[in-house]
Amino acid sequence: MTLHPTFDTDAKIRGIEAAFPAAEFAERQARARAAITASGHEALIVTGPETIYWLTGRQTAGYFAFQALVLPADGEPVLLVRQLELFGTLANTYLPDIVAYQDADNPAEALVDLLRQRGIANPAIELAGWFLSPKLAAEISERLGVASLIDGSQILPSLRMIKSAAELEAIRHAARYAEAGMIAGIEACVIGADENAVAADMLHAATRAGSEVMAMEPLVSSGPRSGLPHMTWRRRVLEAGDPLFLELAGSHARYHAALMRTVWMGVPPDEAQRMMDCALRALDAALAEIRPGVLVPMCMIRRRQSSMAPAIRPPSASASAIPWALPSRRTGARGQSSASSPMSPASSSRAWSSICLQHCAAMANGPSALRKR
């Protein structure tokens, strides 16, 4: 088949949309090549969009189309993408070697032809990539003339766990965007408004604060829907006594930071407040244990021990249709609509969102984020 390599005139747009400096990606690629060498393979075919992004900066809303980064243990990488994606790939990466296939082409054939052109006979491949189906993997194996493909899915993930200074800064930016969106969402929770209005304010504020498109839409569910997982807004009108679940991630350079909040239209019932007290006690215990060198099971043990301790709830307050933004046990005051109040929904969100900013470096090894999920 005919592969379509990058032509010289495209150098003018190379890297103009890159999320990080070229040196950042060069350092990541160098560590990846060292890991491939240590694993004993001549090359690794990277298929997961998130790993390709980490290595090259390649990003697109069309990540579902087959793409593959061929990374030799000794040599420069070459990226295979759909023809439609070529110019976006040029703009987002500093790669000098990008090859495209047409929509009518067979991606398996395109990849194998590329490998043969580069003299790579038996590479490892990231079989865990989201868009590498078993059928496509089997066809690649057959065209390569090997009984089975070598799974290299475990080679690179550990390299991504420790974040660089540039990555941590991106996560901090994302946390600030999420904070802005959550504050707006809480303030939009008024009787008579609907879930769509809350979601719209969350998205608007996070985007105005600087967020890019998120890997997942905000979650907004109220009343009887609030206990259902992963529900999105559905025009339901907010009523007195409703609980709401809000979740939002901010995104910066594809790194994400997420916030979740429980809001109550009025004073929450005792059972809900006790559950929140218990959850916050466990969260505080876990955060107190998170530091380099601590095993994850120890954090879990501390969290369980703390959550089993008697909960101390704040003094009761008179019923109101003003939304409570749980948590609220720091001061014991009822949530107010004024942002200047010590325990207003906005200030509560700001206070607890700051945990995300303060601890984002320690928590960076979790997803998509910073995701995306």
State the pLDDT at residue 344. Answer: 40
pLDDT, mean over the chain: 83
Kindly report the three-state secondary structure assignment for every residue of 2-41.
CCEECCHHHHHHCCCCCCCCHHHHHHHHHHHHHHHHHHCC
Question: Considering the entire predicted model, what is its pTM?
Answer: 0.79
Mean pLDDT over 298-306 rounds to 58
pLDDT band at 12 (very low <50, low <70, confident <90, very high): confident
**288 or 196: whose pLDDT is higher?**
196
Q: Is the pLDDT of residue 356 over 70?
A: no
User: Between these two residues, 71 and 298, which has the higher pLDDT value?
Assistant: 71
Lay out the sheet containing 4-5: strands in order across: 4-5, 98-101, 78-82, 68-72, 43-46, 124-125, 150-151
260 pLDDT more than 50 = yes
Which tops the pLDDT comparison, 337 or 79?
Answer: 79
Element (H, E) at 206: helix 195-209
CB atoms within 10 A of CB 305: 12
Place of tokens 């609220």: 328
| Amino acid (one-letter) located at 213 | V
Residues in Cβ contact with 51 at an 8 Å cutoff, skipping those fewer than 6 apart? 69, 126, 129, 156, 157, 160
Cβ proximity of 17 and 92 under 8 Å: yes
Among 141, 161, 150, 152, CA closest to 36: 152
Lowest model confidence (mean pLDDT) among 161-165, 208-212, 349-353: 349-353
Q: What is the pLDDT of residues 124-182, one digit of tens each?
A: 999 999 899 999 999 999 999 999 999 999 999 999 999 999 999 999 999 999 999 99
The answer for 75, left when phi > 0, alpha when psi is -120 to 50, beta otherwise, is: left
**What tokens does 138 get?**
């089997």
Q: Range with the lowest mean pLDDT among 168-177, 213-222, 354-363? A: 354-363
Nearest residue to 72 (alpha-carbon basis) of 59, 55, 57, 89: 55
Q: What is the mean pLDDT of residues 211-224?
A: 96
The tens digit of pLDDT for each residue in 41-56 reads 999 999 999 999 999 9
Range with lowest mean pLDDT among 81-85, 157-161, 168-172, 291-295: 291-295
Q: In the prediction, which pLDDT does 291 show?
A: 86
Give strand pairing partners of 68. 80
In sequence order, what E strands does the chain have? 4-5, 43-46, 68-72, 78-82, 98-101, 124-125, 150-151, 219-222, 243-252, 255-265, 323-326
Torsion of CA 214, 258, 345, 286, to 10 degrees: 180
Mean pLDDT of 282-302: 79
Rounded Cα–Cα distance for residues 86 and 104 (Å): 16
How confident is residue 325, by pLDDT bands cut at 50, 70 and 90? low
Helix axes 22-39, 49-56, angle to 10 degrees: 120
Residue 352 has pLDDT above 70, yes or no: no
pLDDT (average), residues 114-125: 95
Per the document, the length of the chain is 373
pLDDT for 366:
30
Model confidence at 295: pLDDT above 50:
yes
Q: Is there a contact between 73 and 155 (Cβ–Cβ < 8 Å)?
A: no
For residues 198 and 220, the answer to whether their CB atoms sit within 8 Å is yes
pLDDT at 303: 53
pLDDT band, very low/low/confident/very high, at 316 (cuts 50, 70, 90): very low
More confident residue, 130 or 202: 202
User: Over 60: is that where the pLDDT of 318 sits?
Assistant: no
User: What's the confidence (pLDDT) of residue 348?
Assistant: 42
Q: In this predicted structure, what is the pLDDT of residue 209?
A: 98
DSSP 347-365: HHHHHHHHHHHHHHHHHTT
Tens digit of pLDDT for each residue in 226-245? 999 999 999 999 999 999 99
Domains and their CATH numbers in the chain: 4-161 (3.40.350.10), 165-267+317-363 (3.90.230.10)
293: left (phi over 0), alpha (psi -120 to 50) or beta: left
Residue 319 has pLDDT above 90, yes or no: no
Give the mean model confidence (pLDDT) for residues 110-120.
96
* DSSP state letters, 162-198: SPPHHHHHHHHHHHHHHHHHHHHHHHT--TT-BHHHH
- Burial string for 312-341 (b: 16+ CB within 10 Å, else e) reads eebeebeebebbbbbbbbeeeebbbeeeeb
Query: Are the C-beta atoms of residues 137 and 125 closer than 8 Å to each other?
Result: yes
Written as six digits, the tokens of 222 are 């109220």
